[in-house]
Amino acid sequence: MSPRRAVSGGRIDRLRTIRFTFDGHSYTGHAGDTLASALLANGVTLFGRSFKYHRPRGVLTAGVEEPNALVTVLSGAVREPNIPATMLEVYDGLIAESQNRFPSLEYDVGAINQLGGKLLGAGFYYKTFMGPVIGPLKGTRFWMFCEHFIRRAAGLGRAGTEREPSRYERMNAFCDVLVVGAGPAGLMAAKAAADKGVRVILADLDANPGGSANWSDETIDGMAAADWAAETVRELKARENVRMLPRTTVWGYYDNNTLAALERVADHKLAPAKGEPRHRQWTIRTGAVVLATGALERPLVFPGNDRPGVMLASAVERYVNQYGVLPGRKFAIFTNNDSAYRAALALKKAGGEIAAIVDLREKISPAAREIAGKVGGAHHTGHAVIDTEGGKQLTGIKVQRFDDRTGVLSDDPRNIPADCLLISGGWSPTIHLASQAGLNPVWSDELQAFLPPQATQNWVGAGGFNGGFTTAGALAEGHAAGLKAAGAPAAAIELPAVDDDGLDPKPAPVLEIKAKGKAFVDHQHDVTADDVRLAHQEGFVSVEHLKRYTTLGMATDQGKSSNVPGLAIMADALGKQIPEVGTTRFRPPFAPVSVGSLAAERYGDIRPDRLTPMHDWHLENGATMYGAGLWHRPMIYALPGETVEQAYVRETKTVREGVGLVDVSTLGKIAVQGPDAGEFLDRVYTNMFSTLAVGKARYGLMLREDGLVLDDGTTWRLGQHDFLMTTTTANAGKVMQHLEYLLDVVWPELKVQLTSVTDQWAGAAIAGPKSRDVLAACLTGTKADNETLPFMGIVRGEIDGAPVMICRLSFSGELAYEVYCGAGHGTHVWEALMKAGKPFGIVPYGLEALGTMRIEKGHVTGAEIDGRTTARDLHLDWMLSKKKPFVGSAMMDREGLVGEGRLQLVGIVPLNNRPVNGGAHIVEELYEDGPRDSIGHVTAMCYSPTLGKYIALALVKDGKSRRGTRAFVSDPLRKRFGPVEIVSHHFYDPEGNRMHG
Amino acid sequence: MLITCPYCGPRDVSEYSYQGDGNRTRPDPASTDQEAWNAYVYDRLNPRGEHHEIWQHSGGCRAHLKVTRNTLTHVISSVGFARDAGHRKSDGHRKTGAEA
Amino acid sequence: MAEYSVFSLLRNAFSGNRDWKPAWRKPDPKPSYDVIVIGGGGHGLSTAYYLAKEHGITNVAVLEKGYLGSGNVGRNTTAVRSNYLLPENIHLYEHSMKMWENLSHDLNYNVMFSQRGVLNLAHTPAQLDDYARRGNAIIHSGADSVLMTPAEIEWLMPGIDASGSARFPIIGGLMQWRAGTARHDAVAWGYARGADRRGVDILENCEVTGFIKDGDRVVGVTTTRGEIRANKVAVAVAGSTGHVMNMAGIDKLPIESHVLQAFVSESLKPFLDTVVTFGMGHFYVGQSDKGGLIYGGDLDGYNSYAQRGNLPIVEEVNSEMLALFPSLARVRVLRSWGGVCDMSMDGSPIITTGPLPGMYLNCGWCYGGFKATPASGWCFAYTIAKDEPHPINAPFTLDRFHRGAIIDDKGQGSTPRLH
């Protein structure tokens, strides 16, 4: 038997022993234990070190609000830091370790920070480390030097560098009523709603639904509260219209009653079962929400309140009643309200010794007084704890007479030996979700707490959430809330009977005892009451300034227990009421959420892969692929031993001299159909399309509304009312949206239908002087001769039995054809073309060769159409029709778009015949003292086998007028500089004889 | 946030693309009123409160919707098809093509 | 001796920290000032500071509707950089960078500006060319930039997926080493303290409810704390620009207000000193001195003044983080929040006289506001004092859109959510 485990009691399975390790030591616990309860049962009291001062810390709470007992869970090399031991169910093989200590939890050198206590107060960083104004440590250097060491000491747990092996999952759910919290109120609400036949989801963050029923000592409906809860849960589970989500934290309340919840599916096991995700992220869209999230107990603030052994009264009650653990031998209790007396009762029942109950109120309820008498030990009303004793473990407390109206301490202090001190500062309703879907919370003087705000979405609250701290009230409110949320009229029923223990939920309005010593408000971040007062003294008095200046409430527990005490101290310093200091707005998430769960299926699969129909062929035939947006495209098809440059030069040469085949399936394709299709194209293209003959294609240019170039491509007239538009790969989606907007919003009267057919067509461009011969060899049903298929003509036929559509157009500048077929026939047609081309020496070519040939021709693409260039800049003004308005025509001649100094497209020839890189800049002069005065930049470059030299395209300031002049390429990033000549962008066959041939 | 598409019903915001201020009127295409064009392309009503805006149901029926939404609360008070709202003056386009 | 120093810290530590003075006064409004700056955020406060420091104009009030620094200066992800593409932007942000480098001294307030670098990852050859163009532009404009190889990147950032098998393999990156992060709140507080010490009145909880005009000319404002008159009224209310200008009768501007969400993880032992951006989406992450990962991504993508966003972006941003750092799946998000960004039509800000006589406007900072805080205030103060822009902010006029003299770093045109 573990040293601190009670002989009997608790909701744990004593027959099942669980073995786990903490900081390398082996321990045992029972099924139903958390790491915190199991370690407490083993007599462990030291759980961690605080953030700033590295003070030894125990476990303060028994739930999600835990600030101190954070551990890292190890599973192989995968690390999961900052997990509250209070939320971690033990399992066989669990390996956990403490954090933020070196070399060990017991002896931590970081504890030296405690010596700097007064120096390291709030705002400390802002007042120093500025360093010298002159000298080698001027500027930011001194701070960065100091920061280096600060960063080495900073942080809680350590993240791993290993990829997570398990899976995350996302689930959408729809219901009529979502009940958050499965305590007595939530269970009643779920039952009431389910009885009305609506779809109910009941989510609770614990493994066993029941909430306070699991650890209160009450009876409900004549049975132990926990049994009543279990019974109710069983009943709900049996309903078809109820879904239970245990271990599920509802963490975010978004627009339109969309709530986000994290289900920890497999955190209580060594590894997820086969097919099971570790976490499941729920997006729940619901008609109404019942918030039955209960309340959280607050600590009192007094010197030494962070010593291991000091715990929330309700937490101890829970350890005793739910886990059968007595977290000490000799207990003292310090409270400002009645609820802690329940814990005293529980301790007494479980065999604990009560040394003293210290109640800072002079007057207490008769019920509390009766319990005090029953449990034994001293009962000091009108007293306060002013300090604690012990090293890393509480050994005693110091108590003094206290006036709860004036806060004055008097008489001599006395010492009371105790190894566990229960503290209670009253309760704060858990209104975090409501705060995300409501106005400002409402302060209650009576309860010294913020109550739920006015709702801005459809939710209703019940139980402790509303500030009602009795089980009977929770049951009644839960029932009413369930009905309301289900849209049913209020109806009285006979509620399960609960004994009324007569304790008074109202606390005294005192949360801090001012005495000498460090009194902690935010335990994890080591924010003391004096820090809050210093913030006040320096003018950081609004609640947000308080938080930001002191870091109060910014730790992993998000100030769940420190918020109200912090505000109380500030209000006291200001001489104001708490709500005048301000209210904190809680933002999502309610409790920390794993990044993996938010990524869910996108973890390891961020975006879809877009593959062309011929993708596998490319891989099988030696293509090196690279990414182009979501697409994968062949870069080169290298022969063994070839460099990238050798490969594309060979491919280019083969095309220029013979024939090559390139996959152009990625081009955007939009079917533009309908009686007004021609008219529509006239409006969106700068040039005319309505006059285009059926069976012909035309190159078109599109501007944005602001007059800059949007995209270019060819559009084919397949029929009187039927056009096939192609766009660049990169802009396919953007052009589609642009056209749809115009058609749907601006010109709905046009009878046009737009359909994206990018994925329906496979496309291959066959280019080179022998391309016609290859086509002739495999094309049936039509001919490829100049008469049947002139430049920009379109024919339909078959290749090896597959229907194809062929347009004679050229990006390479050679005689060339684009062959389109159904995507399913893509590889078949491709292979047929390769086979037919074999006698002609056909090669497949990739984007590098394609790019080389377009540079030689001076064609523009994404690097030049970069959203900042005009048609004139790219020498495409010949395409701007003067006969009609078009999108962008009214805006393209504004002064800023036509004046001097615009970047214009030019050709660049390096005079030293060395490569220049894309992104290199052009300058008029190279300066000794560093590059400056850029006049433009290189957009694309290649080695041109046709010209036998390196060439490039560039956008250069007033480039047109610089043709024939010298300049320099300036590429400091890659340390390449050299003289160049600026030339026309048409390097190759400017008259276009080859493609027309 | 849910937007109720008149075709498809209530759908998550992630299915939609935002197309901005729905109060703008595109000038007559033949218009040379530079101010009107500038206003159309660059100037936006940007109210804190009710806002008329265009959304495309790009992950659904691809219709453009005119949505009235409060920019402070995200509450949507009306949704209709943008094409019914009249954002254009297209008389300046010469009729060509099929019906010319 | 400077008011804040290691010596004053020691002295105060021994005297129980009882002698620290308020960082700034909490005065009552005077009936009139030479200059009113509307907006007690970073830009408003720095404007007031430089009006006093550089131009000797100290009869100045900063009007803040809530608490000081409650806008985007307290909501951003703290990155400071000048790695823009277009010279106009580089000059503005590099001016800012140089001011950042001395800001803690200037303000006698440690704003914790740390130049640990900002790295933009490239995933395709075209993107790397594009980054090279930008990096070279930065160098030619006098700022710093280097290209990094995947191996260097992997060495710099343990846990980053630099493998060739990643969905978007990292093929390089553009690093600006002088870029970094600062403690955002400290910037607001430092400027407030500095301005206050020079005589500027900082009026918190003083919401402007209207403008007082004499004909067309703005001569003052009405506020929740009474009427205040001034010779010059400057507006620096990022996120609320549309709303405030509406009160002045300007109902249309080249601006849309969008919500941008940001996230912070639980505190981890620092492993990421550099801010890094993902090139195949919109994602950036850095790690604070407290150990929290601070990260964000794309706008929610619709007009909003709500300072909160929705789930799709939450999921997208976190997915992109794991695409870069697959080992962080078990790290947990601690907080998320939203800030309202004035998205302009070309992605660049507006710092200008007008649009009404007696009025000055500073807005349209998109995501870029925090890093610009010193230069924005400095240029705006110059513009207010001299009634004409400094050459650095001369291109950033309001009429540039209509003239076509747009400064479009991303080349997206007049679709603000894409900038």
Record: contact B64-A741, CB cut-off 8 A: yes
Contact A973 C147 (CB under 8 A): yes
Q: What is the mean pLDDT of chain A?
A: 95
> Looking at the domain A900-989, which fold is it?
Elongation Factor Tu (Ef-tu); domain 3 (2.40.30)
Residues of chain B contacting residue A676, judged by C-beta atoms under 8 Å apart: 97-99
A-to-C residue pairs, Cβ atoms closer than 8 angstroms: 357
Interval A689-720: pLDDT, tens = 999 999 999 999 999 999 999 999 999 999 99
Is C252 close to B39, i.e. CB distance below 8 A? yes
Domain boundaries, chain B: 2-89
Domain locations along chain A = 1-163, 166-296+429-486, 299-425+504-513, 518-593, 612-666+759-868, 668-756, 900-989
Name residues whose C-beta falls within 8 Å of residue C371's C-beta, 6 or more positions apart in sequence. C79, C80, C81, C82, C93, C96, C97, C100
Cβ of B18 within 8 Å of Cβ of C301? The answer is yes
Q: A539 contacts in C (CB within 8 Å)? A: 22-24, 26
By Cβ distance, the residue of B12, B18, B43 closest to C417 is B18
Chains with at least 3 CB pairs less than 8 angstroms from chain C = A, B
Give the pLDDT score at B86: 57
Residues of chain C found within 8 Å of residue B44, distances taken between Cβ atoms = 252-256, 416
CA A726 to chain centre: 36
Question: Tokens 């690097």 sit at which residue?
Answer: A863
Which of A120-129, A195-204, A517-526, A694-703 is the least confident region?
A: A120-129
- pLDDT averaged over consecutive 10-residue blocks of chain C (419 residues)? 78 83 95 98 97 98 95 92 96 97 95 97 94 97 96 94 91 97 96 97 97 96 97 95 94 95 96 96 95 96 93 96 96 95 96 96 94 98 98 96 95 92
**In whole angstroms, what is the distance from residue C66 CA to residue C74 CA?**
12
For C165, counting Cβ atoms within 10 Å of its Cβ (0-12 exposed, 13-18 middle, 19+ buried), the class is exposed
The class that CATH gives domain A612-666+759-868 is alpha beta
Q: Which CATH superfamily is domain A668-756 in?
A: Aminomethyltransferase beta-barrel domains (3.30.70.1400)
CB contact under 8 A, A587 and C328: no
Examine the pLDDT at B91 and tell me if it is beyond 60.
Answer: no
pLDDT category of residue A134 using cuts at 50, 70 and 90: confident
* CATH 3.50.50.60, domain A299-425+504-513, yes or no: yes
Is A143 within 8 Å of C104 when comparing Cβ atoms?
yes
Q: Which of A255, A745, A885 sits opposite B83 (nearest CB)?
A: A745
pLDDT of residue C299: 95
Report the 10 Å Cβ neighbour count for A858: 22
Give partners of A (≥3 CB pairs < 8 A).
B, C
Shortest distance between the Cα of A676 and any Cα of chain B, in A, equals 6
For the segment A809-828, the average pLDDT, to the nearest whole number, is 96
pLDDT at residue B95 tops 50: no
| Mutation target vs A (from B14, B16, B44, B64; most A CBs, 10 A cutoff) | B64
What confidence tens digit (pLDDT) does each residue in C19-73 have? 889 999 999 999 999 999 999 999 999 999 999 999 999 999 999 999 999 989 9
Nearest one of A920, A923, A953 to A937, comparing CA atoms = A920
Do residues A824 and A804 touch, judged by C-beta distance below 8 A?
no
* pLDDT beyond 60 at A70: yes
pTM passes above 0.90: yes
Q: What 3 state SS string does chain B have?
A: CEEEECCCEEEEHHHCEEEEECCCCCCCCCCCCHHHHHHHHHCEECCCCEEEEEEECCCCCCCEEEEEEECCCCCEEEEEEHHHCCCCCCCCCCCCHHHC
Pairing of strands B2-5, A168-180: unpaired
Residues 208-247 on C with a CB inside 8 Å of A are none
Range A1-163: architecture per CATH: Roll (3.10)
Looking at every residue in chain B, the average pLDDT score rounds to: 87
Residue in B35, B46, B74 nearest the CB of C256: B46
Query: In chain C, which among 297-356 make CB contacts under 8 A with chain B?
Result: 301-306, 310, 312, 345
Answer whether CATH 3.20.20.140 is correct for domain B2-89.
Answer: no
The whole-angstrom distance between C214's CA and the closest CA on chain A is 34
Mutate which: B67, B96, B99, vs A, most A CBs within 10 A = B96
Instruction: Supply angle C-alpha A775, A776, A779, rounded to 5.
Output: 70
User: With contact defined as beta carbons under 8 Å apart, do A515 and A386 qualify?
Assistant: yes
Handedness of CA C194, C198, C203, C207 (dihedral sign): negative
| Residue A1: pLDDT band with limits 50, 70, 90 | low
| All domains in chain C, ordered by first residue | 30-78+184-254+346-418 (3.50.50.60), 118-177 (3.30.9.10), 256-344 (3.30.9.10)
pLDDT, one tens digit per residue, over A887-930 is 999 999 999 999 899 999 999 999 998 999 999 999 999 999 99
CB contact at 8 A, C56 and C224:
no
pLDDT of residue C105: 94
Q: What does the pLDDT read at residue C14?
A: 81
Sign of CA dihedral C30, C35, C36, C37: negative
Residue B99 banded pLDDT, cuts 50, 70, 90: very low
User: Does the distance separating the beta carbons of A744 and B82 come in below 8 Å?
Assistant: yes
Residue A253 predicted with pLDDT over 90: yes
| Contact in structure between C275 and C367 (CB atoms under 8 Å) | no
Question: Which residue's entry shows tokens 């001012």?
Answer: A514
Instruction: Supply the pLDDT for residue C165.
Output: 87
pLDDT of residue A115: 77
Beta strand segments in C282-354, E: 283-287, 292-303, 332-344, 350-353
Residue C117, min C-alpha distance to chain B (Å): 33
- Residue C1's pLDDT is 40
Q: Which of A33-37, A93-97, A228-232, C5-9 has the lowest mean pLDDT?
A: C5-9
Q: Do A863 and C266 touch (CB under 8 A)?
A: no
Residue written as tokens 């801090």? Answer: A512
Measure the CA dihedral C39/C45/C49/C52, to 10°: 20
Q: Which residue among A258, A721, A740 sits closest to B62, beta carbon to beta carbon? A: A740
- The amino acid occupying position C167 is R
Residue A743 has what DSSP assignment?
A: I
CB–CB contact C415 B73 (8 Å): no
pLDDT above 90: residue A138: no
- How would you classify the pairing of strands A353-359 and A378-381? parallel
**Best of B74, B93, B95, B99 to mutate (most A CBs within 10 Å, chain A):** B93
Probe site for chain C from B3, B15, B42 (most C CB atoms < 10 A): B42
Tell me what pLDDT residue A109 has: 85
Chain A, 273 to 292: residues with Cβ < 8 Å from chain C are 281, 283
d(CA A345, CA A853): 88
A589 preceded by cis ω (within 30°)?
Answer: yes
Instruction: Identify which of A327, A343, A394, A319 has the alpha carbon closest to the alpha carbon of residue A62.
Output: A319
* Residue of B14, B25, B41, B44 to mutate, testing the C interface (most C Cβ within 10 Å of its Cβ): B44
Comparing C258 with A76, the larger pLDDT belongs to: C258
pLDDT in tens, A528-544: 999 999 999 999 999 99
Nearest residue in A to C269, CA atom:
A155
Model pLDDT for residues A737-772, shown as the tens digit of each residue: 999 999 999 999 999 999 999 999 999 999 999 999
- Classify A325 as helix, strand or coil: strand
B71: nearest CB among C251, C254, C304: C304
Residues of C in contact with B18 (CB under 8 A): 301-303, 417
pLDDT at B18 over 60: yes
Nearest 5°: CA angle at A730, between A943 and A803? 95
Mean pLDDT across A562-588: 91
Nearest residue in B to C416, CA atom: B20
Cα–Cα distance for residue pair A203/A185, rounded to 1 Å = 13
Q: Quote the CA–CA distance of A564 and A583 in Å, as a whole number.
A: 9
Residues of C in contact with B41 (CB under 8 A): 345, 401, 414
| CA–CA gap between residue A750 and residue A753 (Å, rounded) | 9
Please check whether residue A852 is in contact with residue A660, taking contact to mean a CB–CB distance below 8 angstroms.
no
Fold: same for A166-296+429-486 and A299-425+504-513: yes
> Can you name the CATH fold of A166-296+429-486?
FAD/NAD(P)-binding domain (3.50.50)
CA distance to A447, A505, A617, B90, C256, per residue, from A508 (Å): 9, 10, 79, 73, 50
Distance (Å) from the C-alpha of residue B57 to the closest C-alpha of chain A? 11
Closest Cβ–Cβ partner in B42, B48, B51 for C254? B42
Closest CA–CA distance from residue C13 to any residue of chain B (Å): 46
Greatest Cα pair distance, chain C, in angstroms, is 67
The pLDDT assigned to B97 comes to 39
CB-CB under 8 Å, C281 with A603? no
- β-strands A200-203, A168-180: how paired? parallel
Q: For A104-133, give the secondary structure using H, E and C.
A: CCCCEHHHHHHHHCCCCCCCHHHHCCCCCC
Q: For chain B, how long is the longest CA-to-CA vector? A: 49
Alpha carbons A795 and A817: distance in angstroms, whole number:
11
d(CA A210, CA A214): 6
Dihedral pair phi/psi, residue A750, rounded to 5°: -75, 135
* DSSP code of residue A161: -
| Distance, CA of C380 to CA of C42 (rounded, Å) | 12
